[in-house]
Amino acid sequence: MIENTLKTEFIAGTNLQGDMVSADWRFLLPRLKLDRVLCLGLPGSASLAVLAATADEIIVSHTSQSGLDQLQAECVSRELSNFQFLRVDSFENLSDETTTFPLVLLLDSGLTAEFLQDEKVQLSVSSLLADDGILKYEVSGFGQARSKKRKAGMTRVYWLTPLTGEMRTALPTGCGKISKFFFDNVLYGQSWKKRLLSRVGSMVSSAGMVDSVMPRKLCFLHNSTERADNSCPPHFLRKMARTAGLNFDGQLFGLSTRGKFNANKVIYYLFEPGASTPQAIVKMTRSPEFNHRLENEYKTLDRLAKGRFVAPETFPQPLF
């Protein structure tokens, strides 16, 4: 470990807060890299760099020309060149038979409300999805997270923390044991108020009521005839595991993206069905310049496992 650290080039400022700690819902998508993304509404300033790295082309559509102009100026100042901007008079008639997207982000709260209630808006927005494409939106409050006109199996739903701002935890609905584990071990705050909330969350999870009381929901609507399974790990993660000879297909998971630094890791907790503790934990970097840190961790754990310096149950066993 010391040898690897000494060989690592020190670059000042790489551990400061960065622009890759937003839009962490991307780690729930089937793929991390897309060709095109459509934003219906104005994305937040903090997420621009993430969107630019996620897709080759991002089209931002909105009814406000001044809002689009301001966003375009910011993209120019930050040298983000893969954004395009399109003003529309209304979101109701957006369909274009020649243009569909693998990912559509529903970012306008008013449009989201209309989408959940108005069949015409649903058809218009859904027509923008490519085959197997995904529509992403958020809802707040205790109403329906799913469209009234769509089959429930087409939508994956997660409850999020915190209640506002950037997502830091995403838990699949219908998984009370995973929620309880997170409240007991991951969402356990340092202040007495947060610890009290964690205990309440743990009890609510045990009672099977956590999905009802957590007001912030993240939804992914799939343009697919197959039933969506929100508890299954993302496709890209299962694919990586298969290349290492592992099978995560039957696992359940919870996601933690806590921290405000680019260097903070994204962590997947993987559970066997019915289990109350994770079978495996997968750490991932937000940005590739920090890959060497995880490589060093893996090499150290691998040497511990092979060298038998300490008892196997006293440190994490490296998987891949």
The mean pLDDT value for 6-12 works out to 56
Q: Spell out the residues 6+ positions from residue 242 whose beta carbon is closer than 8 angstroms to its own.
A: none
pLDDT digits (tens, 9 = 90+) for 261-314: 788 889 999 999 989 999 999 998 888 778 888 888 888 888 887 777 777 777
Residue 67: in which H helix or E strand, if any?
Answer: helix 65-77
pLDDT of residue 153: 46
Cα 303 from Cα 36, distance rounded (Å): 42
Task: State the residue for tokens 């793929």.
Answer: 31
Helix (H, G, I), strand (E, B) or coil at 12: coil
- Cα torsion through 132, 138, 144, 150, rounded to 10: -20
pLDDT digits (tens, 9 = 90+) for 209-234: 999 899 999 999 988 876 656 678 99
Q: Are 304 and 310 in contact (CB under 8 A)?
A: yes
Question: Among 117-121, 157-161, 273-277, 315-319, where is mean pLDDT lowest?
Answer: 315-319
Q: Are 47 and 21 in contact (CB under 8 A)?
A: no
pTM comes to 0.86
pLDDT of residue 54: 92
Sheet of 266-271, strands arranged across: 83-87, 55-62, 34-40, 101-106, 129-140, 216-222, 155-161, 169-172, 252-256, 266-271, 280-284
Of the two residues 24 and 290, the one the predictor is more confident about is: 24
Residue 26: in which H helix or E strand, if any?
Answer: none
Cis peptide before 162 (omega within 30 of 0): yes
Cα 168 from Cα 189, distance rounded (Å): 13
pLDDT of residue 152: 41
